[in-house]
Amino acid sequence: MVTDKLLTINIGKNGLSSNIFNEIKDILAKYKKVKIKFLQNSAERENFQNAIDTLLQKTSSKLLKKRGFVLIIAKK
């Protein structure tokens, strides 16, 4: 199953910052997959598809699964 024991990153009111991108890159380098939750107070929920595209591009990753505001991405 894809969601078994993945590290989870929560995106809150500060949104997608360079620190978040670096953290995701580090996790992907070590574990190959990461779960990302966009919380209710996240500004990225307004333009969610744009946030997904930016996230995938800046972390050099691919989208495995999307359910609501939760993503599972993997290293390319």
Overall pTM > 0.85: yes
CA distance 40 to 36: 13
Residue 14 region by backbone torsions, left for phi larger than 0, else alpha for psi between -120 and 50, else beta: alpha
More confident call, 70 vs 43: 70
Number of residues written out for the chain: 76
Kindly state the tokens that stand for 22. Answer: 């670096």
Tally of helices (H runs) and strands (E runs) in the chain: 2, 4
What domains are there in the chain, each with its CATH number? 8-75 (3.30.110.60)
Task: Please say if the pLDDT value at position 4 is more than 80.
Answer: no
Sorting pLDDT into bands at 50, 70 and 90, what band is 5? Answer: confident
Q: What is the token pair recorded at 66? A: 């999307």
What integer is the mean pLDDT of 32-43?
Answer: 95
In this prediction, residue 3 carries a pLDDT of 53
Per-residue confidence at 2, pLDDT binned at 50, 70, 90?
low
